[in-house]
Each structure stands twice: as C-alpha cells, then as structure tokens.
Amino acid sequence: MLCTMKIVSNFRGYYKYMKKKLCIIALLMVSSLYTLYSKDKPETEIRDSINLGEIVITGSRPEVNLNNLPMSVTVVGSKQIESRFEQSLLPIITEQVPSLFITSRGIMGYGVSTGAAGGITIRGIGGNPTAQVLMLIDGHPQYMGLMGHPLADSYQTLMAERVEVVRGPASVLYGSNAMGGVINIITKKQQQDGIKTGLRAMYGSYNTLSTELNNAVRSGKFNSFVSLGYNRSDNNRKDMDFEQYSGYAKVGYDFTPNWKSFIDLDLTNFKASNPGTVNSPVIDNDADITRGVTSFSLENNYEKTSGALKFFYNFGTHKINDGYIPEGAPRNERFRSNDRMLGVSLYQTYNLFQGNQTTAGIDYQHFGGHAWNIFMDGTENKDIAQKSENEVAGYLNFQQNILSKVVFNAGIRMDHHSRTGTEWIPQAGLSFFASENTVLKGIVSKGFRNPTIREMYMFGPKNPDLRPERLMNYELSASQKLLNHSLSFDLGFFYIKGDNSIKLETIEGRPTPIYMNTGKIENYGIEFSSNYKINPNWNISANYSWLHMKHIVTASPEHKLYVGTGYIHQKWSFSTGVQYINNLYTVTENKATNTVAKKETFTLWNVRIAYKPANILEIFARGENLLAQNYEINAGYPMPRATVFGGINLKF
C-alpha cells in the first residue's frame, strides 16, 4: 500500500509539473501564431493542411503524418542513403540530422571495448558506450544484454529503406534507453511484383574494400529481400585492421489486404584491432564479435484500427583481448561473453471517434548474459557476471484532431524493471496548423534509462544500488513550406533538465572509482534544417544546431553545420557537402585527476560523382575530407586526411 501511494504521489507531481509547462508552451504558440492565422481561410483548406507531410512510424508506432507529431523527427530516405556510397548508415545520418553526432576513429570499423567509437549523442544526451539513445530495427531494441548498448558496426546501408530519427525523449513508446532519442532503421521490402538484383563493389585508400550483393523478390502475396556484404580496411594507423562479414534476410507474406507478416535475420561478424592512442599504444588489442538479430511480426491494418504483434531475439558472442603496452608482458586472460535479449511487443491503434487515434501497447523484455575470462592455460573464471533482468511495460498514447486546426497528443507509460522498480513516464504536446504551409508544435516529455547489468554487477566500478537516470525535455518548433512546397524550413528550440545520471565517482577510502547517480544535465539549444528542390535535377539542403551544456560531456559539438547539394544531368550525378564542427570536446576537465579539457574544431568537405553508361551499370567515385583536416573525434585517435574511393553499382 505504501509503495502504491508513493507511485501515485510521484505521478501527481509529474502531472502538475507538466501541466504548468504545457500551459506556458501553449500560450507561446497561440500568441506567436495569432498574426499568422487567417480567420477568413476556408475550413476545407485548413483541414487539408493536416494531411500534408511525410508518413512516419517511429514517433507513434502506427503510421502517422509527420505534421501531427509534436516531437522533432528527421527522415533520411533511400535516395539519400544510396547516393552516399557508404557501407555504414551512421556517417550518413551524422550529416543529415541536426544535434546528432556519432564518434569515429578511422575509415572503417567502430569497434568495441576501450577506445571504441560509435558513441551516439542527441542534444548532448548519449555518450560512449551509447546507452541513452535507443537504436531500433523495425521498432525492435538493439542494445546488448550485459553492456546495454548497441554495436555500431551492425548498421549497414544494405538493409535500410530509410532511417527515422526522433530528436528528444521517446520513452513513452520505447521505454528505457530512449531518453535522448531514437534511431529507427526501416528495412527494405519489395513492393512490386518482379525480381531485382544489385551488386556494389568499392575500393580505395588504405586498402579499403566494400562489397554488397542483394536480391529482392515479389510474387503475389510473397516477398523477400536478401543481402550479403563484405568490408575490410587497414585504416590509417598500423595495427588498426578491420574485417566484416554481414548478411540480412527478410521473408514476408501478405495473407489478406488486412493481415501481413514477416520474419527476418540480421547477422554480422567483425574482427577489429585497436592500436590504442598515439601516446599510449597497445599491442594485440583485438576483438572478434558476432551479432545477430531475428524477429517475427504479424501486422493488421483496417480502416479504423491497426496494430502488430512482434517477437524479437538479439544474441551475440564477444571475444576480446585487451592487449598490453609495448614494454609490458602479454595478458594471461581473454574476455568472453554471450549476450541475449528476448522481447515481445503488442500494440493496437483505434480510431475511437472522428479525428482520434489511440494506441495501447504492452512490451516485455528479458535480457542478460554470461561474461567470463579464459586463461592461456585453458582454465576459466566464471565470476565476472551471469545475470539477467526483466522489464515489462504498458502504455497509452492519445492523439486528437481539434477543429481541424490543432492536434493534441498525450501519452503515459508504466515501466517496471525487476531490479530498479516502477517508473512512470508522461508526455504531452500540440501541433497547431496556422495555415496550409505553416505548422507550430510544442511538447513536454520525460526520458529515462535503467542502469545496465554492466554498471550494476560487472567490473570494479559496479554498484547494484544504482537508480534510473531521468530528464525532462521541453521544446517548441515551427515548419514552413514555400514555393509550392519546393522550399521547406524547420526551426526548433529545446531545453533539457535531468538528474540521477550515472557517473564514475572517486570515494575516499575506496581504491577504485564507483558508479553513482550524481550526474546532472542542463542543456538548451537551437535546431534548424532546410531543403530546396530548385528543379527536378538540382537540390540543396542544410541543417544547423547550437548546443549549450551547463555540464560538459564529450562527443557533443557546440555548433554543427552541414550544407550539401546534389545535381543530376542525364547519365551524370554529382553531390557535395561541407560539414563544420565547432567546440567538440574530446576530453572533459577533471580536477581530481588533473585532466585538462581538449576540444576540436574542423571542416570536412566530401564529394561524390557517378556516371551511368548503361541502365544496369553505374560507375562512381567519392572523396572524404578533401581539405585534409588534421583532427580527432576520439581522443588520441587522429582521423585520416584526404581519402578517395571508387567503385561500381550493377542493377538488373
């Protein structure tokens, strides 16, 4: 009874807090829009404006118009992905999404363990390893059972139809780890009857090779997509080799126009060597990682209701040798671990009455694994960790169109973790349609993250008494379309306040640091993006973000700007982009250890050109960092100077 009273009291507190903030946001929106909205505009024109915009699924679970969502969402489409000629999705979304930054340390391969890259931050929330930004494939969480973070080298362009990025908390729908945002990879599916086969091969600087073979089939109710890839690179430093085999297979069947299903498997294995920092080199620091994700989905779609039942299973094996310094002796032990994560998701959306969309869902996850050391004499130490946890949640998300001018969104989630207990997550927001081409939005949302098994039970800093991290996010945004929708602008402002962040702390009398809930978050900033389709052949895009952090973290630049353009003429295509990064902290100040802060500012210029001598053949070349900038993203890991690559695409 006391526990129930405490939960209700906490919920009432959050409700009052959100109600006050939401009223302020609503007043600001109405006052700023008063002069824009015309009372004389026909009601049918205002109603039609709600139907303008891209259809997305990540911010709502079912398909919904992007304009109806109060949160900030960026969509990176198939044309943007294919035109970059990259084997990994992460560099592409780093350019295209404001406030999002992903760390790197070489041409290819993010790696794992100490010195790894692939750390993701959105609006200064995230880090390395990434546990505060949630990676999804078709809505399925991707984090590891023990470590609680995704594997950056798993996300290949070969599988992606598009990527949807929610900037800001999405914990109402996706629970833990979505406190900073969500990156959802929507996989490919053959839509029309026929068979399509493609082959891409690319070679370039530092003996870098990337190959991919894919095949898509659609025959009546049956569809399939299969892709195989091989990537390798020596990278720009000695003993930094990377080699990867990857494959993705998806088989679907449409039972009726209303019921569909699919089953898929994503499997990757990579071997990566890490030479350590330039000032502290390491020998034989190697990792052999296998990662697999399989899922089954049964979906229904009717006029007034739609939903899905989804099962997914993530698994992985990790063989890591942490290496040794050149003047030292080889380590006697090797780290081993097996991860697993089993999940079930059930949700259904109902149109209860006119203009309404209500989604109710249940999520269950069982995650954990086994970590141990194996010694050179064949003996094993199984005492590192053999743990598992459960998480179950129910949520309700409500969307209502009011007088064809306002779309109101509200949601609530109750999330119960077997170790940390119950968490309530509320969210509320508005979309206001000022005119056919103008939409203003506001949202108040809570994000949270449960501590991982690694943080609670593994290695020296472990602390089983850790509590969930929490933050509140407030944002206002506006979207404007001009010139018959060929020119678009998006502008947003956000403020984030959080506490209970898990940090390493040194305690007097303790020989090693320990994880504690002592970290705080206070970030605010501006986001801007624009796209101008000058004509069918020529397009210009840009995005910019400014981030102020009261409590500095690494891998979150203060200023991030990208400007790109693409041009197509007959058989030729050309694109180029410039990315400017300012005040990127690679090391933060620590007075206790006399660590001095380090930050980087750099400008990257990339170019891509392609020629199609025949319908089935495309020849391409691309250059990266053509200004030959000298910079680091991971401290002690200098990035490569100018690099060039060339290859072919075959489609038949």
End-to-end Cα spacing for the chain: 66
Residue-wise pLDDT tens digits, 238-271: 999 999 999 999 999 999 999 999 999 999 999 9
How many H helices and E strands in the chain? 6, 32
Assigned domain for 264 exists: yes
The per-residue pLDDT for 592 is 66
Looking at the DSSP bridge assignments, the partners of residue 166 are: 73, 182
Q: Is the pLDDT of residue 44 over 90?
A: no
Assigned domain for 12 exists: no
What's the Rg (C-alpha) of the chain? 25
Percentages helix, strand, coil for the chain, rounded to the nearest 5?
A: 10, 60, 30
Residue 256's domain spans which residues? 17-651
User: Averaged over 90-113, what is the pLDDT?
Assistant: 94
Residue-wise pLDDT tens digits, 345-371: 999 999 999 999 999 999 999 999 999
As a whole number of angstroms, the distance between CA 364 and CA 118 comes to 27
Phi and psi at 78, nearest 5°, equal -65, -35
CB 289 within 8 A of CB 274: no
Regarding predicted confidence, which is higher, 110 or 12? 110
The per-residue pLDDT for 40 is 37
How many other C-beta atoms are found inside a 10 Å radius of the C-beta of residue 613? 9
State the pLDDT confidence band at 596, using cuts at 50, 70 and 90: confident
CB 86 within 8 A of CB 154: no
Assigned domain for 92 exists: yes
As a whole number of angstroms, the distance between CA 356 and CA 72 comes to 21
The per-residue pLDDT for 508 is 78
Number of independent structural domains in the chain:
1
CB 304 within 8 A of CB 350: yes
**Which range among 65-69, 396-400, 527-531, 546-550 shows the weakest confidence by mean pLDDT?**
65-69
State the average pLDDT for the chain. Answer: 89
DSSP per-residue string spanning 291-359: EEEEEEEEEEE-SSEEEEEEEEEEEEEEEEEEEE-TTS---SEEEEEEEEEEEEEEEEEE--STTEEEE
As a whole number of angstroms, the distance between CA 144 and CA 216 comes to 30
**Which range among 34-38, 176-180, 306-310 shows the weakest confidence by mean pLDDT?**
34-38
Assigned domain for 65 exists: yes
The closest of 258, 196, 199 to 223, measured between CA atoms, is: 196
How many other C-beta atoms are found inside a 10 Å radius of the C-beta of residue 379? 10
Residue-wise pLDDT tens digits, 128-185: 778 899 999 998 898 888 988 888 999 988 889 999 999 999 999 999 999 999 999 9
CB 283 within 8 A of CB 273: no
Give Cα separations from 82 to 78, 162, 380, 567 (angstroms): 6, 10, 46, 14
Which are the contacts of 189, defined by CB distance < 8 A and separation ≥ 6? 161, 223, 225, 250, 252, 262
- Written as one letter, the residue type at 148 is G
As a whole number of angstroms, the distance between CA 637 and CA 12 comes to 48
The per-residue pLDDT for 377 is 79
Assigned domain for 185 exists: yes
Assigned domain for 187 exists: yes
User: Averaged over 391-397, what is the pLDDT?
Assistant: 97
Assigned domain for 168 exists: yes
State the pLDDT confidence band at 428, using cuts at 50, 70 and 90: very high
As a whole number of angstroms, the distance between CA 179 and CA 125 comes to 8
- Written as one letter, the residue type at 556 is S
- Written as one letter, the residue type at 205 is S
Regarding predicted confidence, which is higher, 57 or 391? 391
**Which range among 353-357, 509-513, 544-548 shows the weakest confidence by mean pLDDT?**
509-513
User: Averaged over 601-630, what is the pLDDT?
Assistant: 97
Assigned domain for 8 exists: no
User: Averaged over 63-70, what is the pLDDT?
Assistant: 88
Residue-wise pLDDT tens digits, 559-594: 999 999 999 999 999 999 999 999 999 999 877 677
Supply the CATH number for residue 524's domain.
2.40.170.20
The per-residue pLDDT for 437 is 93
As a whole number of angstroms, the distance between CA 511 and CA 375 comes to 25
Both structure tokens of 69: 């969502």
Q: Is the pLDDT of residue 212 over 50?
A: yes
The closest of 162, 178, 58 to 120, measured between CA atoms, is: 178
